[in-house]
Amino acid sequence: MAKTTNINNRRYLGNKYRLLPFIKNIVEQECENVHTVVDIFSGTGAVASAFQDRQLITNDIMYSNYICNYAWFSPEPYDKKKLESMIDTYNSMQISEENYMTRNFADTYFSREDCARIGFIREDIEQNHTRKKINFRERALLITSLLYAMDKIAKTCGHYDAYRQGVTYDLHLQLHLPLASETNHAGNQCFHMDSNELAKEITADLVYIDPPYNSRQYCDAYHLLENVARWEQPEVFGVARKMDRTHLKSRYCTKEASAAFEDLINSLRCRYILLSYNNMATKGNDRSNAKISDEDIFRILNNKGEVKVFSEDYKAFSAGKSDIPDNQERLFLCICGNEEQP
Ligand SMILES: C[S@@+](CC[C@H](N)C(=O)[O-])C[C@H]1O[C@@H](n2cnc3c(N)ncnc32)[C@H](O)[C@@H]1O
């Protein structure tokens, strides 16, 4: 019988799962009549999951995150028994075929045997969807199950920037069924767009903004999960076996971050904006330095409405630099002026 898994059962840089009580508390204390919540840089969807009693819009530039968000939050019905049975079958199969995964990733992040299984399962999910044996939510739930299972056994050096050489592949791929709600709000929507494009198209009561803070591109750290989620089977390059990621690069990781942020805030039509941004601007190493200065954050948000800042001591964002003192996770709440409201 397939085991189950929860939304927070994966590693993700900047995941806010541990901050949910802090975030929820501020929304409850400071915001009124919040019926629609947008998580516009949703990543794992952890923050959206704290507002599952409201209408949700999730968005992330990465397809792999969109698929996981769709699995967790879409209102589309799914057949749990069918998925349990498919996952049990995948877990019990012996697979040794040659496929895209064995050809490109054997004995890197995963053993050859696990690559064979990942490639076989991913292709089988696609075939079942094409033949209409599973709907789009069921496809998303199975891909999510596969991505979470891969993440549990990957021999990475932190993320997928490099794999650990000469290791024993002691763990083997085991899929679990995502415990996704079957009663999500009928109006929920999931997107994978550039945040600034989506901002022009939506209105909401509250928009939660959690962009990348530094030069570290998420498509570099998670290229392999993105590759398997998309399943376009592209050529991969270099020791880390990365695909071309040009179209997934984020402006928020570059010197254009402030301009992108200003454009985003100006486009939003909502009553409240809640921004997560930590105070790493001048601490840590160059790669972990925040791209948007506090001065810019205040200038841009003050133009939009009344701003309040809340902070809580929180483990540093940068892997390997978690001992930096004074690092705080901060939330900026902007109560938007009347003219901005939907
Ligand atoms: C700090 S993480 C969000 C973490 C998330 N709150 C969580 O708890 O898992 C930032 C996310 O923004 C996404 N991203 C970066 N640039 C983007 C853009 N221009 N539009 C949409 N998403 C973007 C990244 O793929 C990444 O998942």
CA angle 39, 45, 48 (to 5 degrees): 50
Percentage of the chain modeled with pLDDT above 70: 91
Give one DSSP letter per residue of 84-153, joined into a string: HHHHHHHHH-------HHHHHHBTTTB-HHHHHHHHHHHHHHHHHHHTTSS-HHHHHHHHHHHHHHHHHH
Atom of ligand 1 nearest to the CA of 16: 8
pTM: 0.94
Question: How far is residue 187 from each of residues 190, 273, 276, 297, measured CA to CA in Å?
Answer: 10, 20, 25, 31
Could you report the per-residue pLDDT of 238-287, keeping only the tens digit for each?
Answer: 989 999 999 999 999 999 999 999 999 999 999 999 999 976 655 455 55
Task: Indicate the top mutation candidate among 61, 64, 216 to test ligand 1's pocket, ranked by most ligand atoms within 8 A of CB.
Answer: 61
Could you report the per-residue pLDDT of 46-100, keeping only the tens digit for each?
Answer: 999 999 999 999 999 999 999 999 999 999 999 999 999 999 999 999 999 999 9
Terminal-to-terminal C-alpha distance of the chain: 48
Q: Is 41 close to ligand 1, i.e. is its CB under 6 Å away?
A: yes
Alpha carbons 9 and 14: distance in angstroms, whole number: 14
Please give the mean pLDDT across all residues of the chain. Answer: 92
Could you report the per-residue pLDDT of 94-115, keeping only the tens digit for each?
Answer: 999 999 999 999 999 999 999 9
Tokens of 131: 């033949």
Distance 42 CA to ligand 1 centre (A): 6
Question: What per-residue confidence (pLDDT) applies to 167?
Answer: 86
Q: Where are the domains of the chain?
A: 16-75+184-215+254-342, 77-182+222-233
Alpha carbons 120 and 125: distance in angstroms, whole number: 9
- Architecture of the structural domain at 16-75+184-215+254-342: 3-Layer(aba) Sandwich (3.40)
Do the beta carbons of residue 174 and residue 240 sit within 8 Å? no
Alpha carbons 67 and 229: distance in angstroms, whole number: 8
The type of residue at 327 is N
